[in-house]
Amino acid sequence: MKLLRLAPENTKFPFMRFRRISYPFSAVMSIISVVLFLTLGMNFGIDFSGGTLVELRAKSGAADIAQLRAIAENMHVGEVEVQGFGQPSDVTLRFGVQHSEQGDAAAQEAAIARVKDAVGNDYEFRRVEVVGPRVSGELVQSGTLGVVVAIVAVLCYLWFRFEWQFAVGAIIATMHDLLLTVGFFSLTRLEFNTTSIAAILTIVGYSLNETVVVLDRIREMMRKYRKMPTDELIDLSVNAVLPRTIMTATTVFLALLSLVVFGGQVIRSFSIAMIWGIFVATYSSVFICSPMLIYLGLRNETVGPEPTPGGKLAKNPA
């Protein structure tokens, strides 16, 4: 079992010494993320920017998705998403809004005609659906509202579950992770679609989970060591959960890496964003949330004694 350990036990790494480096670094990264979002914007996919969905069915046998992707590269309609669904003979093609001097509607019709010319001999056209800007705007609003409501609901729980310093630290760490993830999408130009919304929500959940694990251990240590300085106690707590944190991040990374390599184009943006998210979330739980407790003035006496099973408060240990 020792060979499988990714981090040694009983480490004594002084994490809190690096807070004077981690905070300026994270502040600069957050500002860069905001600037990238305001200047470059997001590479919105068909779900948000609008486009065309074509549903096909192979006239004989199963649909050859690899062949369709090769054909799609020569259609000159931009990036085309090819995805199988339902029966083996069913497949969908999705491509973005087309633009031309004659007008977007004419360009869209011309693109559909090119698709029919390219695959019409082998595939039956079942459905052609155009997603307009109005529907896309509703998706943007709904997706943003879903993210905000989910974050507020979880953070309200943290506020009541822990002392207010813990909740504020978790809020700051979560906002930090969101900003850096948005900046990552803007910089890499990964397609931002409804799957990306799911990735952001998953990153928020993972970040909060890592943060709560660290915070819970800090509070446990504060009840145990009443006279230990706060920075030393936080270092002790973070080192105590370090093997678990590294093991969790590594196993999730390996699973996501397999999705990037073998999962196909449909979930690639989700998988890449999640890989970025687990590193950012692990970093923020240690170097953003934990040091924030020092700046917020959390002291050992702030955390009350843990209640005993009988309902009485335990005596404070020395």
Going by their DSSP bridges, the two strands 80-84 and 191-192 should be labelled as: unpaired
Each of the 318 residues of the chain gets a pLDDT tens digit; together they read: 455 566 667 778 888 888 889 999 999 999 999 999 999 888 877 777 777 888 888 888 888 888 888 887 777 777 777 877 767 888 888 777 776 655 566 777 777 888 888 887 788 888 887 766 555 667 667 777 877 887 788 778 777 877 788 888 888 888 899 999 999 999 988 878 778 888 888 888 888 888 888 888 888 888 887 778 888 888 898 888 888 888 888 889 999 999 888 876 667 888 899 999 999 999 998 899 888 888 887 765 556 555 554 444 444 444
Long-range contacts, stretch 190-194, CB < 8 angstroms, 24+ apart: 190/43, 190/269, 190/272, 190/273, 191/43, 191/44, 191/45, 191/79, 191/269, 192/42, 192/43, 192/44, 192/45, 192/48, 192/269, 193/44, 193/45, 193/46, 193/47, 193/48, 193/269, 194/47, 194/139, 194/143
Fold of 51-131: Alpha-Beta Plaits (3.30.70)
**CATH 1.20.1640.10 placement within the chain:** 11-43+136-302
Q: From CA 292, how far away is CA 289, in angstroms rounded?
A: 5
Q: 């669904």: which residue's tokens?
A: 85
In the chain, helix, strand, coil percent, each to 5? 65, 10, 25
Four-residue CA torsion sign, 82, 85, 88, 89: negative
Closest to 173 measured CA to CA, from 154, 199, 196: 154
Whole-prediction pTM: 0.73
CATH architecture of 11-43+136-302: Up-down Bundle (1.20)
**CATH 3.30.70.3400 placement within the chain:** 51-131
pLDDT of residue 103: 55
pLDDT of residue 163: 76
pLDDT of residue 318: 40
For the beta sheet containing 123-131, the strands, ordered from the edge strand earlier in sequence to the opposite edge, are: 80-84, 90-96, 51-58, 123-131
